[in-house]
Chain A
């Protein structure tokens, strides 16, 4: 077990589990608007943006409180690249969960698999996830995982403090900040404003191999393939289509007062102002 310098070694170091998703880089997709198609061939992949905030926060908590971070990813085999990146950011060990039967499941199914991973890991004090992933942004995994593990869920965290057994979280809600407190273990979903993730260097990522990275599958986890993945999904994706244009490009011309009026109406209709 590699212990990062600067962490205080205590009798019971804080055990943090952080989950991330290995996703398609939506900003590099080749989109064929004319044929209403997205070309996924050779699509680039990445750690979901918001998940990086969760990983970063785990590392910051460790830097402050000491502890051990286990990073977990349920995904395809090539998620190893992203897993190494997460280790390079400062996580201590990784569990990469790969199984064909886990593919194409809905978010609830992923949350269920994660709950079994957490149970296999055993001891933990804090689970961190993002609020949503950049590919589908369902926001389901965090709260559902909390449910499966019967943990308190502290969502939309913009600040996390741990002192002893006490966990204090500032939640960035629609109308303001709510400060809540509970005892660990708990699950926290972080919001993007919580931090600015560090960007590991390529060499750091390439050197992450010295940390423990275990690959687990349905068998290791003792999961019956028929209760997960596509087989058990309660929501499925029927089709993908491409929006007509990235931007609408509706231009109002004419007298300033008329154009302004038309714009105001359009904005109200879009629900963009309230």
Chain B
């Protein structure tokens, strides 16, 4: 029985994929790639459930650009001939999986939720049509899949898997070079692309009170948004922070509406958020019809508590 091969650009998420492989009852091999000494990475992924770690170290892999990375993964794949290969659903993972699948002429499932094996291949669920529907998809035979982050616990324990260094890796020639890299700046405000938004509404009584929300935003690496009255009418926040039809339409992964009743203006601008949290004193506020989680209560009491809890849990 061939096993599964896992690769992720982050060792932590590779460990989640190891858990998945073990859960599926397969032998798990992990690929580590880089341009320098890979012993640290190898050590990180030497956990229970991992049978083999494949290392390729090459100058061509210094930036893990798609071309050489796919070449490297192909060379491991052809050596291992696994049934399945798993990537994390990171941006890097999602650009590698399809290209590798196309090269290997096998199936590809991205953002696979609840992956399971059947006699022919892999079955998984995918959110489609803007989250309106769940598609159950199945591969015919071997496939690669990308798995959403945090879907599985990280595998742990100290183990001593086989470590195989592939020395004869020959990437295809490429002329793509990296000119520079700019780390994401913390606190950089771009509400349109923000992954987490905490938004303030009329529940706040004074401009100064927004400080408690900013504190929460800091803990979550979130951007502070606002409903129309706070930006246009009161001017507590600049106009570019306004979420709503006449402001910016956002679709973050998490949207926390604090003291926002949920006028249609506002709802239209945030309804495509993946997860919506509402905190408001009025339990009849329309926002509670549009939220995944809600707290009916005084934001002045709740927000500091929430900030404290999250700070603790996230270790910040």
Contacts and interface: CB of A to CB of B under 8 A. Distances in A.
Interface of A: 24, 26-27, 29, 31, 38, 106-108, 111, 134-144, 146-148, 152-156, 168, 172-183, 186, 189, 192-193, 233-243, 246-253, 256-257, 259-261, 263-268, 270-274
A242 B136 contact: no
Contacts of A172: 91, 193
Contact of B138 (A144, A178, A238): A238
A252 B294 CA distance: 6
Given A27-B130, A147-B102, A263 B109 contact: no
A153 B296 contact: no
Contact of B179 (A140, A142, A179, A271): A179
A136 B135 contact: yes
Given A243-B133, A264-B306, 8 more contacts: A148-B102, A179-B178, A180-B176, A181-B176, A182-B174, A236-B140, A242-B132, A249-B294
Nearest to A241: B134
Contacts of A29: 129, 132
Range of interface residues on B (Cβ < 8 Å) = 35 or more
Interface stretch (B45-53, B143-151, B228-236): B143-151
B261 to A, nearest CB: 15
A239 B130 CA distance: 16
A234 B107 contact: yes
B138 A38 contact: no
Given A183-B175, A247-B292, A263 B313 contact: no
A80 to B, nearest CB: 22
Given A144-B99, A144-B101, A268-B313, A243 B138 contact: no
Most interface-central of B182, B254, B295 (chain A CB within 10 A):
B295
Given A140-B98, A182-B177, A234-B106, A271 B151 contact: yes
Interface in B6-26: none
Contacts of A257: 305
Interface stretch (B76-84, B159-167, B283-291): B283-291
A235 B183 contact: no
B218 to A, nearest CB: 13
B2 interface: no
Given A138-B110, A175-B184, A239-B136, A153 B310 contact: no
A235 B151 contact: no
Is the contact region of chain A dominated by helix, strand, or loop, or is it mixed? mixed
25 contacts: A26-B132, A29-B132, A31-B133, A111-B98, A143-B97, A147-B70, A148-B102, A155-B91, A173-B91, A176-B183, A177-B184, A179-B178, A181-B176, A186-B176, A235-B107, A240-B133, A241-B136, A248-B293, A249-B289, A252-B295, A260-B295, A267-B293, A271-B149, A273-B220, A273-B310
Contact of A152 (B67, B97, B138, B301): B67
A259 to B, nearest CB: 4
B294 A140 contact: no
Nearest to A182: B176
Interface string B297-313: 11001100110111001
Q: Which among A108, A156, A178, A273 has the greatest number of chain B C-beta atoms within 10 A?
A: A273
A147 B65 contact: no
Closest 6 CB pairs of A and B: A234-B107, A260-B305, A271-B150, A26-B130, A256-B301, A264-B309
Interface in B100-116: 101-103, 105-111
B128 A108 contact: no
B92 interface: yes
A177 B176 contact: no
Nearest to B254: A272
Given A179-B178, A182-B175, A240 B313 contact: no
B139 A108 contact: no
A153 B99 contact: yes
Contacts of A26: 129-130, 132
Nearest to A158: B193
Nearest to B180: A179
| B66, B96, B291 pick with most chain A CB within 10 angstroms | B66
A268 B254 CA distance: 11
A48 to B, nearest CB: 11
B205 interface: no
A262 B303 CA distance: 13
B196 interface: yes
